[in-house]
Chains A and B, each alone.
Chain A
């Protein structure tokens, strides 16, 4: 298994939308590589015949009826917003595009 290198960390940080300075990259890369090495041991016991557990307590079909509940008011919805315009959340220019 490949270990995690500085370039990987830079790429992952970008994917996770976290700016990292060079100093950050240096500091975190070493730590992360060590952690990855430590946790990679899970593959040793994860046999093909072992099913994965995604939910610790097995349950199924938990749903709710299609009935309207009170929403927040517009004021409440916008209450934490850093920037508001016309009842909407204002964000700077978007570079990318909708998936």
Chain B
């Protein structure tokens, strides 16, 4: 009997469609896996066994009755706890939303349900998506399946770890400055941030409205493409969503895998590399470029000088928008209330937010309040928005001479838990390569480039494409993935340690 937890989503979908397995079997296998390993991994904040099995059984019954079902029907999925799910607790990794059960579904949730995908549960994340290690979760960190003493990346460490630990074949993440891509890089999985507006934000708990995007997480490029097509597309409930069809990402992935990259121009971004990048990261990156050349691509270099200011601009824009987006957590309509019984609502609000928010959230909210305040707007938020324009211009110039831009996804492999907690600025540097894409709104993917020789930990390869050209990510990514899998004789995740019996 197949171990369904080791299969790709595509393989599972095909097997279900062919009647070789039932969704109930597949879901049960994953729930068993979660029960076996999630103690040490802690990818999940909430597991909905009943709900997932009920949907699995419903899909099985309909399939048996001959109903026509969507492509991924019956394939289970994990959902980052940033996406609102009706009837399932949704916390955004924060204590201030502990126990909140939304009375509505986000649009992406509705699309998953319409795709008949059983939702296994909600995954852990840095509180309100602020972080690069999932250590800022109000519910304790997630542990990297490659080494349980290490971080799984953030803010979407839970989704990435669930994939790497074979607890789910697919996951939903969100990416504001790299929160899908960086966890993918340090866990050896695939993560995509679509073009801004490519996936509806209605029902995504907002961090920074002009930067946030929901995106697909998987173990293979093609799986990510399948999920991308389920959740992507115009939504009238999100005014910023693109009123255009989803780019043909599944098709592009297939072409990349089968047809190679002849005629494709790939440009390395000079500023996203070099000093500060771990040796093994640089090495695997260079080797990946060789694979792209071998597949027929031309590799050149471009310079994007304004990227030097991207981190600063990001850590002004994000806190500013977040300080406003997080104001609603005020004890009145939902969530935590800290009430000493004799107080005023002003005092209760302040006490609630003090108790419910962690340090990183407090830092960013206060920073954002400062950056927007009278007399400071022009120098801080206003200036950061101008840097944004410069970054967009650099991207435009770069894309004039290349189809995609590439870089290592992040400067290092997974660091140890606790290692960077004392210095926020050091933690911020993890996002230096991923942030520019969010500022410009362009799509980006991270896929495994192999393991760093010095420590055997996963390295991520980042691909960036022009806005609306998400399909290019999948074409190039699939080609690289095929080459790397061929070279090592299997996927990178074949090398992840056995977790059962761990700790």
Contacts and interface: CB of A to CB of B under 8 A. Distances in A.
B15 to A, nearest CB: 39
Interface core residue of A13, A16, A20, A31 (most chain B CB under 10 Å):
A16
B384 A42 contact: yes
- Taking chain B's interface residues, is the majority helix, strand, or loop, or is none over half, making it mixed? helix
B203 to A, nearest CB: 14
B60 to A, nearest CB: 31
A16 B239 contact: no
A15 B349 CA distance: 11
Nearest to B348: A92
B385 interface: yes
Given A19-B351, A38-B315, A13 B387 contact: no
B386 A18 contact: no
A7 interface: no
A44 B332 CA distance: 42
Interface stretch (B146-154, B269-277, B295-303, B363-371): B363-371
A40 B313 CA distance: 9
Interface in A3-60: 4, 8-9, 12-20, 24, 27-28, 31-32, 34-36, 38-47, 50-57, 59
A57 B240 contact: yes
Contact of A57 (B242, B336, B353, B359): B242
Interface size class of A (residues with CB under 8 A): 35 or more
B174 to A, nearest CB: 16
Contact of A12 (B102, B196, B369): B369
B367 A56 contact: no
Contacts of B211: 56
B383 A43 contact: yes
Contact of B350 (A1, A18, A36, A92): A18
Interface string B327-367: 10011111111010001111111110110010100110111
Contacts, number: 186
B424 A93 contact: no
A49 to B, nearest CB: 9
B323 interface: yes
B309 to A, nearest CB: 6
B196 A45 contact: no
B425 interface: yes
Contact of A35 (B367, B387, B388): B367
Contacts of A95: 344-346
Nearest to B391: A53
B486 to A, nearest CB: 37
Contacts of B354: 18-20, 24
A87 interface: no
B103 A50 contact: no
A14 B353 CA distance: 11
Contacts of A36: 367, 370
Interface core residue of A54, A57, A95 (most chain B CB under 10 Å):
A57
A92 B342 CA distance: 8
Contact of A89 (B236, B311, B332, B379): B332
Contacts of A68: none
Contacts of A96: 346
A66 interface: no
Given A12-B369, A82-B331, A53 B388 contact: yes
Given A38-B312, A81-B332, 4 more contacts: A16-B323, A38-B311, A42-B386, A52-B389
16 contacts: A15-B373, A38-B311, A39-B316, A41-B309, A42-B309, A45-B390, A47-B386, A57-B242, A62-B240, A76-B103, A80-B103, A80-B333, A82-B332, A92-B343, A93-B343, A95-B346
For the complex of A and B, list the 10 residue pairs with the smallest distance between their C-beta atoms, beginning with the closest: A56-B441, A80-B334, A46-B383, A52-B385, A82-B337, A19-B354, A46-B386, A76-B103, A53-B388, A42-B383
